[in-house]
Structure 1
Amino acid sequence: MSYLIFIDTNVVHNDFFFKSSAIKKLLKFTNHEPVKLCITEFNYNEIIKKYRDNVRPAIKEVRQVRNSVSKKMVELEIGDLFDLEKLRAEKYVDHYKLFLDEMIENNNIQIVGYPTGEYVTAQISERYFKGIKPFGENKISFQDAIIWQSIVEYCKDEDPEIVVFISNNTTDFADKSKNRIHNDLEDDIRGLLFYNSVGAFLEHEEDNLHDYFIDNYEYDKELLESELSIFFDGNYSLNYTINDLLMNSEFEGEYFSGWGTDGYIDEVNFEILEVTFDIEENQLLITFGVELCVSFSIETIDPSYERGDSGDGMMSESSTTDIYLQGDITYSLNEGKMTDYVEKEIGFL
């Protein structure tokens, strides 16, 4: 049976290093079943671009901190505190590309080239001018049309029995139900199955995963919650996450409104939501939730502050909030430790 699965950029965008339970299950499935996992060449380059777009702002922030303390660094003879060689985004992009290429090779992922049909420019242009999906009334970019045409051409050459497309871009590819391919596109690839997430696809293939995974695995709840606490006590992942959320949120204080700073986790409560046993790897794929009670400061610019006044020109007041985070993590039964943490969702309670 010829079976092709195409994944869109957004499947990888929030999980650049393929750590989530869903992605691990997908790779295990495609490595064992007579299935070919595919990424178009456009998607491949777009994934790298998305990674670059995330790295550059982070590097910029570090450079700004360095510039703000550069005088003190010279005075105190700690000029090597920041390694300028490491403060280059392309250095990390190159490393990521090596990782991605290795992941593709190790998992036999097929890179599907750009569309080369004689009339491809005219075909894409006609869709654009007529507002046919993946274009729409407010859709002027051509990225999705190139991706779609790549898939269409490849399927015509391969003539597979089953074609699956996984994308959470339901606006441009799906019908109103968000579970089926849009009727503008369904005639391009007969019988194509559309899924808006890897999880939705895995639910459909649940019967074919039993040889590799045991769902609803009986686990030691106290042990896993304890191991989660140990894992997060040993790094700053949760602190980074909450401070990023606070800095990008507005709060209404008792006296003024402002953004959040100086977050401190007062209380942590973990809950295990789902555990799947990976038979071959002897490890647990865990989805967990954690409720965080956080103390922080609401900060804003003091409108009465004038140049020369003492202080930093900011006003702040103390506050608290509750935050809920959901993530995936892997627990190795052989090594007895947690690895491959990836954040999935976060929000205020």
Structure 2
Amino acid sequence: MKKTGSSVVLPQIILDEVRGLYKKALTDRILTLEKNVNNVNLLLIDSSEYIKTKAINIDQETNTYLEFVKKKLKIRNILPYNNSFLPIISQRAIDRKKTAGIDGQGFRDTLIWLTIKDYALNCQEKQITFISVNTDDFASSDKTQLHESLQTECDEIGIRINYFKTLKEFIENHSVKIDFITYDWIEKNLNYDAVSEAIMDFLNGSEKRSIITWIEYEINEECVGYKAINFESTADTNLSVYEMSDDRLIINLTMEGYSQFEFTIRSDGYWNDDYDYTDRTIEMSTDVIAEITITLIDKKIVDFEVHDFSI
């Protein structure tokens, strides 16, 4: 997930179910503990030797566990309940439509399905990965992909839901596609000269005010223009990869380096014969961090774009 810049998205109903399961498990174990302690105490003659159990606030412990889960999985996006789904859920149950179960009892699974489908429709990439061990309601007959009827629903609204039974299956399947993408692979396959030219074009054509503000702060004089004359890459960092719905791979890469600029400085107080300010040119170099997006098709770089920088 770190390499792909992805995050866990959790429907609220799943988080609520985790809460309920944990609370029940904790309550059952506390009751078992108290029963066993009482049984031991019944055998002790000296009451001063009785075992005493510590009182546990079950609700507080349950909340603590949920916070642990969210932190452990880095969950930042919890999908709330959508009341507008109720008529759809009811109709699917009546029609015994997939995820509603043979007897129309699958309210929970239908709500999960509608929630993730709606999320995929409204996210930029129009796709998500869905992991569920419930192959009866979500998987095809061979348990390897999304059920055919659910896939049809996705096709009708132009989204892609990649289904896996387990985390292990997802990791094994997904990592194979992107394992080859490393800093060394990028260094061997990316045309760094072309990228440097693109970065200079970007520096000269975008956010000019920020560069002028920077040089004016550095030299405490007015700058009326500049030109980036080179960019030298020194390191690539913050590599992340994303698989698009059309099978393209998008690499987001931070390229660190330094650039040399020519600045036109207007010196206040110096006049020429035409009573105009006197301009002069100075050169300065500074560190530049550029954000690059690289597009891959069939393990080949087909395009790249500079979309941001900082100095």
User: Under a length normalisation based on structure 2, what TM-score does the superposition of the two structures give?
Assistant: 0.51
1:95 equivalenced with 2:64 (yes/no): yes
Aligned to 1:38: 9
Q: Does the residue aligned with 1:140 lie in a helix, a strand or coil?
A: coil
Structure 1 residues 70, 211: CA separation in 2 closer, same or farther (over 3 Å shift)? farther
Q: Does the residue aligned with 2:130 lie in a helix, a strand or coil?
A: strand
Deviation at 1:199, TM superposition (A): 1.5
Structure 1 residues 154, 206: CA separation in 2 closer, same or farther (over 3 Å shift)? closer
Contact 1:31/1:108 (CA < 8 Å) preserved in 2?
Answer: no
Contact 2:121/2:127 (CA < 8 Å) preserved in 1?
Answer: no
1:68 equivalenced with 2:39 (yes/no): yes
1:134 to 89, 99, 104: 99
* One-letter amino acid of the structure 1 residue matched with residue 49 of structure 2: I
**Equivalents in 2 of 1:84, 1:37: separation in Å?**
35
Higher Rg of the two aligned structures:
2
**Equivalents in 2 of 1:144, 1:116: separation in Å?**
15
Q: Does the residue aligned with 1:165 lie in a helix, a strand or coil?
A: strand
1:201 to 161, 170, 173: 170
Structure 1 residues 137, 102: CA separation in 2 closer, same or farther (over 3 Å shift)? same
Structure 1 residues 139, 89: CA separation in 2 closer, same or farther (over 3 Å shift)? farther
Deviations 1:168-222 (A, max 9, x none): 100111111111111222233333211111111112222324679xxxxxxxxxx
**Equivalents in 1 of 2:58, 2:180: separation in Å?**
42
**Equivalents in 1 of 2:132, 2:93: separation in Å?**
21
1:146 equivalenced with 2:106 (yes/no): no
Contact 1:115/1:149 (CA < 8 Å) preserved in 2?
Answer: no
Aligned to 1:83: 53
Deviation at 1:74, TM superposition (A): 7.4
Q: Which structure 1 residue ranges, 5 or more long, are not aligned?
A: 1-29, 213-349
Aligned to 1:55: 26
1:114 equivalenced with 2:85 (yes/no): no
**Equivalents in 2 of 1:149, 1:55: separation in Å?**
31
**Equivalents in 1 of 2:124, 2:83: separation in Å?**
17
Contact 2:99/2:106 (CA < 8 Å) preserved in 1?
Answer: no
Structure 1 residues 70, 129: CA separation in 2 closer, same or farther (over 3 Å shift)? same
Q: Does the residue aligned with 2:22 lie in a helix, a strand or coil?
A: helix
For 1:1-349, what aligned pairs fall within 5 Å after superposition? 30-72=1-43, 75-79=46-50, 81-86=51-56, 89-104=58-73, 107-117=74-84, 120-138=85-103, 140-189=105-154, 190-207=159-176, 208-209=178-179
Higher relative contact order (CA 8 A, sep 6+): 1
Structure 1 residues 67, 139: CA separation in 2 closer, same or farther (over 3 Å shift)? farther
Deviation at 1:71, TM superposition (A): 4.2
Contact 1:162/1:192 (CA < 8 Å) preserved in 2?
Answer: yes
Contact 1:164/1:193 (CA < 8 Å) preserved in 2?
Answer: yes
Q: Does the residue aligned with 1:180 lie in a helix, a strand or coil?
A: coil
Q: Does the residue aligned with 1:98 lie in a helix, a strand or coil?
A: helix
Deviation at 1:147, TM superposition (A): 1.1
**Equivalents in 2 of 1:108, 1:209: separation in Å?**
24
* One-letter amino acid of the structure 2 residue matched with residue 85 of structure 1: A
**Equivalents in 1 of 2:149, 2:77: separation in Å?**
26
**Equivalents in 2 of 1:116, 1:32: separation in Å?**
35
Length, aligned pairs only: 177
Contact 1:174/1:182 (CA < 8 Å) preserved in 2?
Answer: yes
Deviation at 1:111, TM superposition (A): 1.3
**Equivalents in 2 of 1:124, 1:154: separation in Å?**
17
* One-letter amino acid of the structure 2 residue matched with residue 123 of structure 1: I
Contact 1:115/1:153 (CA < 8 Å) preserved in 2?
Answer: no
**Equivalents in 1 of 2:32, 2:149: separation in Å?**
44
**Equivalents in 2 of 1:133, 1:46: separation in Å?**
21
